[in-house]
Amino acid sequence: MNPSEPTPAISAEEFRKFRDFFYRKTGIHFEDTKRYFVDKRLIERIQATDSDNFRNYFVMLRFQASGEELQALINLMTVNETYFFREEYQFRCLVNSILPEIAQRKGRDEPIRIWSVPSSSGEEPYSLAIYLLEHWPRVDEYDIELVASDIDTSILEKARQGCYDKRAVSHLPEPLLRKYFSALPNVQYQISDDLRHSVEFTQVNITDLSQMRGYRDFDVVFCRNLLIYFDDTSRRVAAEALFNALRPGGFICLGHSESMSRITPLFKVRKFPEAIVYQKPR
């Protein structure tokens, strides 16, 4: 697209058309109030792909065999704002209440599997790793597998690199920052190689049943602030997928404004001193 050409505009009808398509592909629904957010990113991709207008771009998006453009758009449309030790009370709940209960019924040779989804740029799974190492006294008695997944491939790459700015680490106590990070130029911090190598990062769309087939036998799932982006139907599908991913008796932690009880009766509500979480019946 020539820079002198006017910026393409997205009509209300085109917005609706795109919204329906994006919902079918990802389960993510945009309310009318998100119009500006969506239009801005669509226009950015229309220009980046040298499409003349929305119509041409949409045809390419729908029929491109590689799906490369759809993935680029998903990466832009998903929100990745997070930081280390966000909603720390849930990590306290994990080490003080959830893991002791899980450990009670585990043999020493059985791994404890924890899944962070969506993992965004890695702050949550690395926070989990740090919290376990620092605050769970029995951490050395078990093999603990940490899997972290997101739909956004570019953010996963960032997570694997593990480099963060000052804002992302601002809630971390200074001794932990020194212990687990190395300082880089430009006030950046990189998480230690040991921790980077202890988390398995994978790409997944949790509303896609076929993609979810490899995700099984987790003891704990952290799925915070994802379901709020879904509509009712996608929430149901996601809840089924999370149910499938958990072992009987496994736990799921949602964001503080989310409630599994409003979505499905599949899980039991567990009120621990630190937090309310949900459990797959045993």
Partner 1 sequence: MSLVKKNHASSGNADHRHLPRDRAGLLRQLQDASPDIRRWAALDLAAFPDTAEALCARLEQETGLPVREALLTTLIKIGGNAVVKGLMPLLRSEDATLRNEVIEALQQLPEAVSPYMETMLRDPDPDYRIFSINVLANLRHPQAPAWLQAVIERDADINVCASAVDVLAEVGGPETVPVLTGLPGRFDNDPFMQFCVQATIRRIQGHDA
Q: Which stretches of the chain bind partner 1, using CB under 8 A?
A: 111, 113, 129, 132-133, 139-147, 149, 195, 197-200, 202, 209, 213-218, 232-233, 236-237, 240, 243, 264-266
Question: Is-contact 210 155, C-beta < 8 A?
Answer: no
Least distance from C-beta 273 to partner 1, angstroms?
Answer: 26
Say which of 41, 92, 160, 236 is annotated catalytic: 41
Order of strands, edge to edge, in the sheet holding 163-165?
A: 163-165, 188-191, 181-184
- Cβ burial of 112 (10 Å; 0-12, 13-18, 19+) is buried
Minimal distance, residue 274 CB to partner 1, in Å: 22
CA 13 – CA 10 distance, rounded (Å): 8
Secondary structure element (H or E) that encloses residue 201, with its range: strand 199-203
Cα 22 off chain centre by:
18
Smallest separation, CB 129 to partner 1 (Å):
6
Residue number with CB closer to partner 1 (113 or 224)? 113
CA 34 to chain centre: 20
Give the shortest CB-146-to-partner 1 separation in angstroms.
6
> Is residue 113 annotated as a catalytic residue, yes or no?
no
Q: What is d(CA 218, CA 30) in angstroms, rounded to the nearest whole number?
A: 30
Cβ at position 72, least distance to partner 1 in Å: 25
| Catalytic residue selected from 19, 39, 113, 150 | 150
Could you tell me the smallest distance in angstroms from the CB atom of residue 189 to partner 1? 20
Judged by beta carbon, residue 49 or residue 249, the one nearer partner 1 is: 249
Q: Is 32 a catalytic residue?
A: no
Which lies closer to partner 1 via its Cβ, residue 54 or residue 215? Answer: 215
**CA 164 and chain centroid, separation:** 17
Q: What is the C-alpha to C-alpha distance for residues 119 and 125, in angstroms, rounded to an integer? A: 7
d(CA 202, CA 206): 12
Q: Which is nearer to partner 1, 57 or 180 (CB)?
A: 180
Distance between CA atoms of residues 262 and 235, nearest Å: 10
Which is closer to partner 1, CB of 50 or CB of 143? Answer: 143
CB closer to partner 1 out of 54 and 84: 84
CA 163 to chain centre: 17
Cα(158)–Cα(162) distance, rounded to whole angstroms?
6
Residue pair 239/266 in contact (Cβ under 8 Å)? The answer is: yes
Q: Cα–Cα distance between 22 and 238 in angstroms, integer?
A: 16
Query: Which positions are annotated as active-site residues?
Result: 41, 150
